[in-house]
Structure 1
């Protein structure tokens, strides 16, 4: 019984440690640009490389049903160790743009055995209160994703390579913690055979499909916003030279505050319903996207930062809720596969939105590019609203 109380905290800590690998390159982007003569557009390419790797990884993991056929904790450990190794490869002085993108791609590939597998592990241990459990889990992902920005701030007096070494150490530590302290869950039903079609058959369930589309709309906005937070801060500083922002620290706070929102969303979902809270969060983040040009016009630095902090909360608050709906509407034997294939498609979408912002920032005034992020949430809201409407039965003709 004592061990069961430690399961969720260990999963959360492991997830935080391992997902710090995700934005490790972004956290030291300015140093990479100086040391390896990279252009400003490298930020979008660097982020997309991780996403591409994650997409390929999740596709392979889903098709081969890795998380359902093998012990999830062992999969998590293997991917954590390999992901940490390739993450540390950035410190090699002989790197160039191609090798950096390759290393980030491979790191992303192994993150496919960390994030969705971590959710699978949580689902295997918590059937009731899954939304709250995934709220903590995705909250750990958020703080882990934001951590490299904080690490850069904390290690400012040290070489940028210390950030890469620190995140790789944390990744390996997280994998070991998961393997040693988290056994296979009581609700796990191993998939004994390989079924290639299983990863696509889940979409025949209309409830699963509705939750998945909502998640896809949310993902269109999420990682593009996260990737461009430092650029948003610098854009405001150019327009308002009096604003002296600590970009690494503020980037950490704006992204990291989403972790708190995930936890709060999980608790609210228990009282008000998972789909309802997901709808509200998606609506609010959509509003932030559409009204984002106005935030650059304010002379108040406090209002600007407050707006970004609020956006940082609502942009991620619905993520664990959509994952909960996906998990609840997939059979136990393919739950890991279902979560993984939805992640695969969702992260494929993030590449399009990130690269679109990359192109737009070079062609038009950057203060006007962020409303495009509202397109995904709008689609998700339409689907969720239609599913929430009560079905009217036609009167029978006599």
Structure 2
């Protein structure tokens, strides 16, 4: 029988998985849309990046109006999930190649600012000495939910409408179920958002390095997640027996993103024991190498792609939660809200640029070289976190610089 803590943690994790299926539902349906209509790379990129645009806008709005303090977190989660589900479902009534598609995806992204960050607030009410593990668990839920549309799309065949309906229904269920969540202790007042202090995220030496580590991580993460399905489909189609490439690509895309769930949990567990800097350095080094090795794996037998997907998927997200935790621990308490918001917003702005860059990289280098330039992000992130580890300020991090 689950205790009150783990019953509520399990409930919240389940809700996050269901709600986050909306994030990549647009990317997952691109192959199906291309079976029915002409969809350019720029239109496909706009569908993916509009969610990031929306998330930045939603995060800034939530922080500026301190919505978590003004609205019960469970209610904010429910409203956000239901609104996002409605916007996602509305894509069935428009031309997917038209101008309204990015608008609806923007709304989905804006509402996700009331799902994932609010989930962090909810789970924090149960944290004790296991912050890294529980935050890693929530990131695992985000990761599994993000990959789920590829699996849903597999069951729906080439009918992209099935994926839209299923992900919308799952998000709506998540919003309603979240009302059953009971906090472990009263929610603490959110740290005030002070736009005038945003520059400190880049001028304070320790915060700057922690943020640069996160930015390097984000240069790679969402661009890879957004385009991995097409990369895999193109690779599998080159190999003998490529007739089943579309279906197998969906399964491998889910495997790649879904592997990150295990990586997030393991990352949180290890960060609580070996330190945040060691964990982030190791994870980014592996994922950066995978950006390079992906080119060698392109067109290779399926088992090579499976290995790449598992290793890359596990490492690419294992460090994500630890960057936020690092900024929280390095910031003065009164500035935490501003520092976390600044980190998140700049990071997602970078994802917009790299999501749009990948189609151009494909044109220039082909899929065998498209992900290689993205390796610069995690490698620069490694340097930033290594420098942070050498600073006295790193002793403020949980477990210090170990």
**TM (normalized to structure 1)?**
0.89
Aligned-pair CA distance for 1:387: 1.5
2:330 corresponding residue in structure 1:
329
Distance change in 2, residues 1:185/1:352 (3 Å): farther
Deviation at 1:57, TM superposition (A): 1.5
Distance, in Å, in 2 between the alignment partners of 1:383 and 1:194 is: 26
CA offset at residue 71 of structure 1? 3.1
CA contact (8 A) 1:69 1:190 kept: no
Q: Judge conservation of contact 1:132–1:270 (CA < 8 Å) in 2.
A: yes
Separation in 2, partners of 1:350, 1:190: 26
Range 332-341 or range 233-242, more displaced: 332-341
Q: Distance in 2 between matches of 1:385 and 1:37?
A: 46
Match of 1:394 in 2: none
**Residues 116, 343 of structure 1: 8 Å contact kept:** no
Q: Which residue of 1 aligns with 2:296?
A: 294
The answer to whether the Cα contact below 8 Å between 1:215 and 1:322 also exists between their aligned partners in 2 is yes
Looking at structure 1, the residues matched to 126 and 341 of structure 2 have their Cα atoms a distance apart, in angstroms, of 18
**Alpha-carbon deviation of 1:5?**
2.9
C-alpha separation in 2, matches of 1:7 and 1:127: 15
Indicate the RMSD between aligned Cα atoms, in angstroms.
2.5
Using the TM superposition, give the Cα deviation of residue 27 of structure 1 relative to its aligned residue in structure 2, in angstroms: 1.8
Residues 138, 262 of structure 1: 8 Å contact kept: yes
Q: Post-superposition shift, 1:36? A: 4.7
| Counterpart in the other structure of 1:395 | none
More off after superposition, 34-43 vs 126-135 = 34-43
**Residue matched to 1:309:** 310
The 8 Å contact of residues 209 and 387 in structure 2, kept in 1 or not, is answered as: no
- Cα 1:5–1:337, aligned 2, differ >3 Å: closer, same or farther? farther
1:213 aligns with 2:212: yes
Q: 1:237 to 1:300 in 2, by over 3 A?
A: closer
User: Helix, strand or coil: the match of 2:22?
Assistant: coil
Of 239, 256, 259, 1:257 maps to: 259
Q: Does 1:280 align with 2:279?
A: no
Cα deviation for residue 85 of structure 1 reads 0.8
Q: State the 1:204 CA deviation.
A: 5.6
User: Who is 2:180 aligned against?
Assistant: 180
Q: CA deviation at 1:203?
A: 5.3
Q: TM-score, normalised by structure 2?
A: 0.88
Match of 1:169 in 2: 169
Structure 1 unaligned blocks of 5 or more = 392-398
Write the deviation string for residues 224-250 of structure 1: whole angstroms up to 9, x where unpaired.
Answer: 111111122123234434454311111
Change beyond 3 A, Cα 1:358–1:155: same
Structure 1 residues 96 and 285, CA gap change in structure 2 (3 angstroms): closer
Aligned mates of 1:31, 1:93 — CA distance in 2: 16
Checking the alignment, whether the CA contact within 8 Å between 2:220 and 2:377 is kept in structure 1 is yes
Using a 3 Å threshold, how does the CA distance of structure 1 residues 332 and 272 change in structure 2: closer, same or farther? Answer: same
Distance 1:151 1:101, change over 3 A: same
Alpha-carbon contact 1:71-1:184 (below 8 Å) kept:
no
